[in-house]
Structure 1
């Protein structure tokens, strides 16, 4: 994973032009070039606004080929931190979504100190719901996000034991 740059435009255009990829996002309507340009500008501007959060380019480890993106970002208009992903159709079913989501949930809890992470999906997107559950999020029913009624999944940060806190404090002395 790495931050997006202007040079990634063609990869994003390919991703957001596939009706299969967008089926549960906007009903399968390919995004126009101008929409993708605006989205890329928002994504690259997000890094400075919200350090540690963002949308990251996802690539294969073996050959570096673009497979899509992963995100850990605020879910507007709330202060909920959302984990998400969008992958090329050819990357579906190969474990990329689960690998990225798990890594970002761990990063959010461990490195950023986030206490709660959500994921939202279209009610019909059973594959994405399965990914969220495999990534440690539990089905919490329904929520209203992105001006739509969506399935809501939630993970709470693991609670540290009092003994672990005391050990850490004594090690710092």
Structure 2
């Protein structure tokens, strides 16, 4: 599975032309509101290099999102394996980040539904998780729209975020593969 389409989006490998708009996204205070800090250009490019290599190696991961109608890069959506220990790991998570001017158009939910189909139908994963800060109600709404459910007893302090940070406490959502 290298790339695929939803009705309005192409989920594809990262391209050189994605670097500048992704760096702008990572520097946007609104986009990065629920992260400990904005990304430098070096961090942004490093992220693209890492997730691009994951896609090449595994055939799945965090895909760049391109709006089919315009060909415009609008962010990313995909699957990732969390790189920390928590009560729910090992796991495969679904995540997304979109440009501010792409918000409110249903792109995150549409892309997430497509990624969940890949996760369950193609990869046959038994479960997918997603997590975000307690204050990130936009992402939590996407999680709920795609059928994920939260048990507040599973909320956790993200081990890679320093104690005392307002971004440390996270909510955890889960979705099991249908029929399991």
TM-score range normalised by the length of the shorter chain: 0.7 to 0.9
Residues 18, 73 of structure 2: 8 Å contact kept? no
Summarize the alignment of residues 147-162 of structure 1 with structure 2, pairs less than 5 Å apart. 147=160, 148-159=168-179
TM-score (norm 1): 0.84
Query: Structure 1, residues 85-143: CA drift from partner, whole Å, max 9, x if none?
Result: 00001111110010011111121001100000001011011111010011111012203
**Greater C-alpha radius of gyration:** 1
Paired residue secondary structure (2:131): strand
Point out the structure with the larger helix share: 1
Which structure ranks higher in relative contact order (CA pairs < 8 Å, sequence separation ≥ 6)? 2
Residues 128, 175 of structure 2: 8 Å contact kept? yes
Residues 102, 136 of structure 1: 8 Å contact kept? no
Partner of 2:15: 5
Is 1:116 aligned to residue 127 of structure 2? yes
Paired residue secondary structure (2:116): helix
TM-score (norm 2): 0.81
Pairing partner for 1:96 from 104, 107, 111: 107
Q: Partners of 1:68 and 1:119 in 2: how far apart?
A: 17
1:7 is displaced (CA, Å) by 3.4
Partner of 1:47: 55
Q: Partners of 2:169 and 2:112 in 1: how far apart?
A: 22
Summarize the alignment of residues 1-173 of structure 1 with structure 2, pairs less than 5 Å apart. 1-26=11-36, 29-49=37-57, 51-77=58-84, 78-141=89-152, 142-145=155-158, 147=160, 148-159=168-179
Distance 1:144 1:71, change over 3 A: farther
Q: Partners of 1:146 and 1:97 in 2: how far apart?
A: 26
Question: How many pairs does the alignment contain?
Answer: 157
Distance 1:156 1:40, change over 3 A: same
Q: How large is the RMSD of aligned CA atoms in angstroms?
A: 1.6
Distance 1:22 1:80, change over 3 A: same
1:146 is displaced (CA, Å) by 5.3
Return 5+ residue gaps in structure 2 as ranges: 1-10, 161-167
